[in-house]
Amino acid sequence: MTESEPIREPEDRAEAARVDAPAGLSRRGLLGLAVGGGVAGLAVGLGAGLTGGVALGRARAAEDAQNSYDFFGVHQAGITTPVQDHLHFASFDMMPRTDRDDLISLLQDWSYAASRLTQGLEVSASGAVGGSPEAPPDDTGEALGLPSAGLTITIGFGPSLFENEDGDRYGIAAQRPAGLERLPAFLGDDLDPEMSHGDLCVQACADDPQVAVHAIRNLSRIAFGRARLRWSQLGFGKTSRTTAAQATPRNLFGFKDGTANILADDTAALDEHVWVSAADDPGWLAGGSYLVARRIAMLIETWDRVRLSEQATIIGRDKGEGAPLSGGDEFTEPDFHGGAIDAHSHVRLAHPTQNDGVRILRRGYNYVDGNNTLGRLDAGLFFLSYQRDPAQFITLQRRLATDRMNEYIRHVGSGIWAVPAGAKPGSYVGAELFA
Amino acid sequence: MTESEPIREPEDRAEAARVDAPAGLSRRGLLGLAVGGGVAGLAVGLGAGLTGGVALGRARAAEDAQNSYDFFGVHQAGITTPVQDHLHFASFDMMPRTDRDDLISLLQDWSYAASRLTQGLEVSASGAVGGSPEAPPDDTGEALGLPSAGLTITIGFGPSLFENEDGDRYGIAAQRPAGLERLPAFLGDDLDPEMSHGDLCVQACADDPQVAVHAIRNLSRIAFGRARLRWSQLGFGKTSRTTAAQATPRNLFGFKDGTANILADDTAALDEHVWVSAADDPGWLAGGSYLVARRIAMLIETWDRVRLSEQATIIGRDKGEGAPLSGGDEFTEPDFHGGAIDAHSHVRLAHPTQNDGVRILRRGYNYVDGNNTLGRLDAGLFFLSYQRDPAQFITLQRRLATDRMNEYIRHVGSGIWAVPAGAKPGSYVGAELFA
């Protein structure tokens, strides 16, 4: 199962030939054809003449028009998109002996599949049931009949993709952004290398976990022979918000989390803190961002025995409303001068006014992965943040070295990726890197 | 953290004294007071005078009246209840040196908490934020502001609760149902004891995973010193349906699953196949059922390379519609005589006509728990079934010994529990066992 396994397209797709629509997936070069008219044209074209799996896809797309996001655009979706309810995050490593063409074809095939999946379609025109009965289906089928459920697929490039112990495998070492390197060790780090790092990442967010899981599973399958899963993480109960209309969710400490997040309509803040600008270096990443993932285990049974007033002191906010301890409501600016908020509270140490104005866009999820042999839930926060420069995260995380909360958390996983701008219609994520 | 940790009730709950409402949780005896008026009276009483956490709870209950289920009733909820979107299942073992009173008080406290949680309330009147600031809150708080989300909590008793290597710890060995014993070994079993068995189980189902997780976490916390988590499992994308209005969902093989399930309105079938009758032995289990859980790992990457026609042959149904290969639509009865359906297909071997009419009520969920070091998703079906007699499951599972599907699955976890009838208002789950 280590060799390349392209998803097969049946030879005799007479229906496909009758419409101006993609012929399906392949390892090389079909992408230009596939999305020549942009994804809107693609969906319409598909609806016009095909049957079987595509008909199912069409029905789904129609039902779900209110809750689907274009894969193509100025920025990748899944960053400022209103945070969906569920996450399946996957880190991939490229396979040994793959070359630049393999990497480009993988990004093309992923982009093509993602452009369909995010519209509630199957990964190809023949999909789960419309292909030859004598071939394995292109699509694994568990999302048949489900809407797109707000699915976004966001792809990033890790430091090791540019250069690793095997050298400059893909001829892109010179294009590595200076700031894109493994995060420095932070005080208290307890990282599991098997839950950290990776050449590539795919963040799939959706309002239905089966839709997010289906996306990661099928992208993993498409990658066979070129890349394979290194680690993956499911999450739920979004712990951040990206629009003012979303209520601030609670993390597993029971506190509201994300009150002061950067919101999608604050374009000035996004330009200042999240999007890499055309003037930044490197140019190929303009319109992109840097993604940091941290798997933060919470010692919730220990936390649960802390008295309420102490919990509030640690966070710097009250538990019910989420108001700063200096007074007001959830959205009142904290006052760090009156002494009501502890100097080592989380809210103070993380606050922009205490960090030269540094802000990040948070997009994390809660997770529970069973329990350990002592009967403690293996639970915590899968922290995701987007920023214009990795230095923003590093500054904040160093500042949190004296956070009172550290007694109750442990960083056990870590990764960083450069997230390119959105793909242009007809192109693929990261095309500028290979131009 | 092995000693008993009752959840504390602050001494000076002046507000609580002003209304005819529960004073909160305790280790002993408060349950009769707490739910004296039944859960409906309880919820109303609570809404009348308390503030803080309870006010939040009241708002939730009002919003959510359409999607909440009584904990008290003839049968436990969570069996015929329309299958919710998410599962958190937990198996518990009693702690060493616990006695009959510990077990009874645990069941009382769980029942009390469950009667509140299922109504969108916190675990006690003081809840997450309404208690003394100098005490740890009764409720962990991450469900504050969330609706009850259709939460059901279903409690069961494993064979080892009645008698284990330490003997008859709770004076109930003589009440053990004859059929309640560890399932026999089945061909191909590859069980992990750390994901199998358990003295007690709690099945929490809800349409929001954070609500289900909150329930298991808080019931675990309430159990401190008396019982502790042995293993737990999250699931999503319900793979069965219990009402005709629910579309048949798909498992991770991409096929519809649960087409022929027993539905909630088929009371004759429920009486025949699911509910223990008053004439069955033992009498204390009348109105209850037996729950079987099987963690069935799916080798999905292998399955995904099987050609479509072969997949259909293995299942005995087509992949798109879920119609039997003998023709018709999803709900057409399969015809096993014409030769269209393979003798070793799953649908044939599991069909009641091939098993002397044996049927079970299925209520399983899909799961994905990260991936292994080869990059394969750790994914499959968390199978749950309810039946009047464990022999029903054993008959079917033995029949499946020659199932073609066995090449692609592996049973890695197993458990069986007697699930008592629903608790009477003011009483607790299993009271009949201790009468």
Residue B205 makes CB contacts below 8 A (sequence gap 6+) with B78, B81, B83, B84, B86, B87, B150, B151, B152, B154, B212
| Residue A338 neighbours by CB distance under 10 Å | 10
Kindly state whether A376 is in contact with chain B, defined as any CB-CB distance less than 8 angstroms: yes
Question: For the residues A241-268, what does the mean pLDDT come to?
Answer: 91
How near does any CA of chain B get to the CA of A203, in Å? 14
pLDDT digits (tens, 9 = 90+) for A216-225: 999 999 999 9
Question: Residue A240: is its pLDDT beyond 90?
Answer: no
Q: Is the dihedral of CA A405, A409, A411, A417 positive or negative?
A: negative
Query: What pTM did the predictor assign?
Result: 0.88
**pLDDT given at position B5:** 38
**pLDDT given at position A13:** 29
How near does any CA of chain A get to the CA of B429, in Å? 23
* CA A414/CA A384 separation, integer angstroms: 10
Residue B35 makes CB contacts below 8 A (sequence gap 6+) with B22, B42, B72, B111, B112, B115, B425, B426, B427
How is residue A143 written in tokens?
């999302």
Which among A1, A136, A311 has the least Cβ separation from residue B307? A136
**pLDDT given at position A188:** 86
Q: Is the dihedral of CA A413, A314, A378, A156 positive or negative?
A: negative
**pLDDT given at position A244:** 86
**pLDDT given at position A1:** 33
Instruction: Give the pLDDT band (50/70/90) at residue A303.
Output: very high
Asked whether this complex has an ipTM greater than 0.90, the answer is no
**pLDDT given at position A136:** 97
Please answer yes or no on whether B213 and A52 come within 8 Å at the CB atom: no
Residue B374 makes CB contacts below 8 A (sequence gap 6+) with A1, A228
Which among A1, A145, A307 has the least Cβ separation from residue B134? A307
Nearest of B217, B379, B359 to residue B297 by alpha carbon = B379
* CA A273/CA A275 separation, integer angstroms: 6
Tell me which of A392 and A11 has the higher pLDDT: A392
What's chain A's average pLDDT?
87
**pLDDT given at position A88:** 98
Q: For residue A429, how many C-alpha atoms fall within 13 Å in the half-sphere facing its CB?
A: 29
**pLDDT given at position B64:** 56
Instruction: Calculate ∠ Cα B415-B416-B420, nearest 5°.
Output: 140
pLDDT digits (tens, 9 = 90+) for A369-378: 999 888 999 9
Question: Residue A183: is its pLDDT beyond 60?
Answer: yes
3-state secondary structure of A213: helix
- Beta strands per DSSP E along B199-322: 200-206, 227-236, 289-298
Interfacial B residues in 99-128 facing A (CB < 8 Å): 128
Kindly state whether B234 is in contact with chain A, defined as any CB-CB distance less than 8 angstroms: yes
What element of type H or E holds B312? helix B308-315
Q: For residue A103, how many C-alpha atoms fall within 13 Å in the half-sphere facing its CB?
A: 25
Closest-CA residue of B relative to A247 is: B145
Residue for token digits 């006052």?
A335
- Chain B hits for A368, Cβ within 8 Å: 88, 213, 232, 234
Please answer yes or no on whether A236 and B210 come within 8 Å at the CB atom: yes
3-state secondary structure of A214: helix
* CA B136/CA B8 separation, integer angstroms: 8
**Which candidate in A216, A308, A412 is best for mutational testing of the B interface (most B CBs within 10 A)?**
A308
Which among A221, A308, A366 has the least Cβ separation from residue B129? A308
How near does any CA of chain B get to the CA of A200, in Å? 14
pLDDT digits (tens, 9 = 90+) for A146-179: 999 999 999 999 999 999 999 999 999 999 999 9
C-alpha distance across the termini of chain A, in Å: 32
Interfacial B residues in 381-410 facing A (CB < 8 Å): none
Question: Residue A25: is its pLDDT beyond 90?
Answer: no
Kindly state whether A69 is in contact with chain B, defined as any CB-CB distance less than 8 angstroms: no
**pLDDT given at position B401:** 97
Task: Decide: B419 and B154 in contact? Cβ < 8 Å.
Answer: yes
Burial of B309 (0-12, 13-18, 19+ CB in 10 A): middle
Please report, as a single letter, which amino acid is at residue B294. R
**pLDDT given at position A242:** 85
pLDDT digits (tens, 9 = 90+) for A74-112: 999 999 999 999 999 999 999 999 999 999 999 999 999
- Chain A hits for B5, Cβ within 8 Å: 305
Interfacial B residues in 299-338 facing A (CB < 8 Å): 300-301, 304-309, 311-312, 318-320
C-alpha distance across the termini of chain B, in Å: 32
**pLDDT given at position A39:** 33
* CA A298/CA A313 separation, integer angstroms: 17
Task: Decide: B292 and B415 in contact? Cβ < 8 Å.
Answer: yes
Please answer yes or no on whether B379 and A319 come within 8 Å at the CB atom: no
Question: Residue A237: is its pLDDT beyond 80?
Answer: yes
Instruction: Calculate ∠ Cα B101-B222-B35, nearest 5°.
Output: 75
What element of type H or E holds A46? helix A38-49
* CA B16/CA A375 separation, integer angstroms: 33
- Give me the tens of pLDDT residue by residue for chain B, a chain 435 residues long: 333 333 333 333 232 222 223 334 444 333 332 332 333 333 333 322 233 333 444 444 455 567 899 999 999 999 999 999 999 999 999 999 999 999 999 999 999 999 999 999 999 999 999 999 999 999 999 999 999 999 999 999 999 999 999 999 999 999 999 999 999 999 989 999 999 999 999 999 999 999 999 999 999 999 999 999 999 999 998 667 888 888 899 999 999 988 889 999 999 999 999 999 999 989 999 999 999 999 999 999 999 999 999 999 999 999 999 999 999 999 999 999 999 999 999 999 999 999 999 999 999 999 999 998 889 999 999 999 999 999 999 999 999 999 999 999 999 999 999 999 999 999 999 999 999
**pLDDT given at position B259:** 86
